[in-house]
Amino acid sequence: MEVQIFGTKKSAATRKAQRFFSERRIKVHFVDLDVRAPSPGELRRFAHKFGVQALIDRTSKRFAALGLAHASLTDERWLQKLCDEPHILVQPLVRNGNQLTLGEAEDVWRSWMAP
């Protein structure tokens, strides 16, 4: 099993996800959002499962700094904004094959390891 984690090194939730998988000796491919934004196709995969609005971290400092609290954008425009500004994404985004989680989801991660 190999998981892919999208997040930033400063995010406590992302570090917790990395620690969770490393403690269980599961290979992790970490995508640092400070270095590389997720592709639109990757974000669409998460948006298809959870909805575009669920991907937006409305409590993040970057969200407030951009003044997006009263923005009324279409889902397609939000996806573009999330690609351009990955710091307004809920972190971490975790993918195990076709299985996806958003934020901290230890119960789901444990279920991935169940035989």
Domains annotated for the chain, with CATH where assigned, are 2-113 (3.40.30.10)
Instruction: Quote the pTM value.
Output: 0.88
Mean pLDDT of 16-43: 93
pLDDT band at 68 (very low <50, low <70, confident <90, very high): confident
Q: Number of C-alpha atoms within 13 angstroms, CB side, residue 38?
A: 30
Is residue 72 pLDDT above 90, yes or no? no
Question: What is the distance, to the nearest Å, from the Cα of residue 10 to the centroid of all Cα atoms in its chain?
Answer: 14
Mean pLDDT of 84-111: 94
CA pair distance 76, 19, nearest whole angstrom? 33
Question: Which tokens sit at 86?
Answer: 């990955």
pLDDT of 44: 93
